[in-house]
Amino acid sequence: MTMRRAVVSGIAAATLFCGGILLAQKPERDISGKRHPNLAAAQRLCDQAFRKISEAQEANEFDMQGHAAKAKELLEQANKELKEAAEAANKDKR
């Protein structure tokens, strides 16, 4: 029974790990550098930070108690807010 529990736990952990990787893809960079150079630069920095966190996760075998994953989620949220800021600025300039 103990071996079976270990195998099932391992499979569940692997499934969650792979699902987390699929959900935590790097933020898209889609703000025009010509129209919004500062917002585009901020978006590039978010992308760089996301990549560095991913490298840290790999170096630490993803054993960071969820903090790195949370930081990546927050960077994704920041990326979306930057995109919305650019869109709002576009509306104001029409």
pLDDT digits (tens, 9 = 90+) for 1-54: 677 776 666 676 666 665 555 445 555 568 989 999 999 999 999 999 999 999
DSSP letters for the chain: -HHHHHHHHHHHHHHHHHHHHHH-PPPP--S-TTT-HHHHHHHHHHHHHHHHHHHHHHHTTT-STTHHHHHHHHHHHHHHHHHHHHHHHHHHT-
Q: What per-residue confidence (pLDDT) applies to 22?
A: 45
* Angle 10-15-17 from CA coordinates, rounded to 5°: 95
Predicted TM-score (pTM) of this structure: 0.66
Rounded CA separation 89/2 (Å) = 59
